[in-house]
A and B are shown apart, each in its own frame.
Chain A
Amino acid sequence: MKDNEKNKKRYYHSVRLKEDDCKGCTHCIRTCPTQAIRVYDGKATIIEERCIDCGECIRTCPNFAKYAHTDSLDMLNDFKYTVALPAPSFMAQFDPDDIPLDKVYTALNLMGFEYIFEVAAAAELVNKATEKFMQENKKRPVISSACPAVVRLILTRFPEYAEYIAPLEPPMDIAAKISKDMVMKKTGCNEKEVGVFFISPCPAKVTAVNQPEGKKKSPVDGVFSMTDVFDAVMSRIQEIKETKNYEHAGKYGIIWGVHEGEIRNVHVEKKIAVAGIHNIISFFENVDDKEFSSYEFIEVQACIPGCVGGVLAPTDKFMAKTRLKRLAGRMKESTVKREKVFEDYDMKFFIMEFFNEGRKLQPRSINRLDTDIEKAMEKAEKIDVLMKEFPGIDCGICGCPTCETLAEDVVQGKASKFDCIFVLKEKIKNIKEELGDISSGKRIKDENK
């Protein structure tokens, strides 16, 4: 318990549990890609250092006991000027032939956002920065840093691949920095008077803002749930008499909202896109060194089919994917003005560590059993022994996702092997036999032999 309290201070998490709604079923523990959930005493518990805020448990929980904590729309009142940063996936929440994007943005204005800056525009710039970075740095492959859930997955479960993650700021952060600058220049107000808000399809972005990896502070001031904003937009659509005109990002930025969107504009021969957190895990587990180093660029997105599949996106993910592709098809490749913005900022603007006092992404392995290698070996051996005792059917009744995680918890002193009902049954059977022997006098006779 003490440990838990200490960790609560160390890690921010968007994904949380409504304990009263949790029935202690084992759906979430099975789908959690980092084995971060246990069920103790009939309630789920999230292990803070293991959770990567991907939101898979929110997707699975049949009782809606898991939720993503996002900022309240009331936060718009806390700033003199506010900027909406719609994710590319947000653009796919509305049928462009029914509710055109400009109408949606007019509704955002009505909600209280003074300015709108599409993250898709920043995505175009990140595409260009990626290309430039790859020309200047020959280390391959380069893994995209855009999906915060995957970045966390690599840092915790696959630290050996951490060095390949591009040190580039994700589009959300770039959009926040540029738009804040723009508003400050335009209005002459100071940094604290401008609030920049990301409209997010996923909880991982909320965590990326509140506790960013590899940096001290995010340039984003708040993160709104895409579902909340969708509802607010829909409730204002009727009152819109006059739709304003807005500048839109090019097709290559918009398409980032779906699987294979980012790599489309990374011009290298050997590139691969993997979507779905479980698919990404099996990719990293199975890819051999030769294959891995043959790639030049790797796009990784925790959700299927890309960000439109995020848990906070209200529209059906495949409908949204089709809409986004349709929308992108109608856009120019890239807008001249955006090009100019890119000229205004040099490469440093895109590299993470220049803005963060030299901070870099730090791997923090959750695999290690002990800091002392000999103790770790003892524990690993005990795990092997326990695995022979456990049935290996991953039933989840003990509250752990797999027999192996129970074995790990046992050697770490967090569980007992008798939490396994099969081991417990065996133990009871033995006790029963022993008691039977004693009462029948067989044991005494045996012992006297």
Chain B
Amino acid sequence: MLKVYHLEGGNFSEAGSASSDIKKLLKRLGLQSKIIKKVAVAMYEAEINVVAHAYSGDINVVVAKDHIKILVSDKGPGIPDVDKAMTEGFSTASEKVREMGFGAGMGLPNIKKNVDDLNIKTEVGKGTELSMRIDFQH
């Protein structure tokens, strides 16, 4: 099944509502708590990334019986150096964002830790496309 969400840049209070909704869905499907937690963490971090860095973003979630795929595509500045962005503690978040308690440079590393597959397509000045997959059985 498909779930679609939209995010606006800078709207921090809205970030997290998509992952909450998916969390609720996965509970309904009766998935294990540790899988739900992984999905919720990865998706929440992705949502924060969009509102902290991009102008807007769309999330498409496809739930299958044995895995979940999450595609997050945003219109934004893109990531100039993906390897650097994957390093724990590296952040390009603005001072304003940091003051709100975000931008610790843990977003992408945290996503990677929680997913089975992660793909990043990015173009500087245009935007970023993050696709991730989490398997239900291990």
Contact = CB atoms under 8 A, between A and B. Distances in A.
Interface string A356-381: 00000000010111110110110111
Contact of B37 (A286, A289, A365, A373): A289
Interface string B4-41: 00000000000010001000110111110100110011
A381 B29 contact: no
Contacts of A373: 29-31, 65, 136
B85 interface: no
A368 B37 contact: no
Contacts of B41: 288-289
Interface residues of B, number: 19
B33 A377 contact: no
A343 interface: no
A: interface residue count bin? 20 to 34
Nearest to B17: A286
B30 A377 contact: no
A288 B44 contact: yes
Interface string B106-121: 0000000000000000
A370 B37 contact: no
Interface in A70-109: none
B23 to A, nearest CB: 9
B27 A377 contact: no
Interface string B48-60: 0000000000000
Given A369-B30, A370-B30, A377 B1 contact: yes
B30 A374 contact: no
Contact of A380 (B1, B16, B37, B44): B1
Contact of B29 (A159, A163, A286, A368): A368
Contact of A365 (B20, B27, B136): B27
B20 A285 contact: yes
Given A367-B28, A368-B27, A374 B65 contact: yes
Nearest to B104: A290
B63 interface: yes
Given A289-B44, A373-B65, A380-B1, A160 B33 contact: yes
A358 B28 CA distance: 30
Best-buried of A159, A286, A373, A379 by chain B (most CB within 10 Å)? A373
B30 A376 contact: yes
A381 B20 CA distance: 17
Interface string A286-301: 1011000000000000
Contacts of B1: 377, 380-381, 384
Interface string B125-138: 00000000000100
A215 B33 CA distance: 23
Contacts of B65: 373-374, 377
Nearest to A159: B33
A19 B30 CA distance: 34
Contacts of A163: 33
Contacts of B31: 373
Contacts of A380: 1, 25, 28-29
Given A160-B37, A289-B44, A368 B30 contact: yes
Interface of B: 1, 16, 20, 24-25, 27-31, 33, 36-37, 40-41, 44, 63, 65, 136
10 contacts: A159-B33, A289-B41, A365-B27, A365-B30, A368-B28, A368-B30, A369-B30, A371-B30, A373-B65, A376-B30
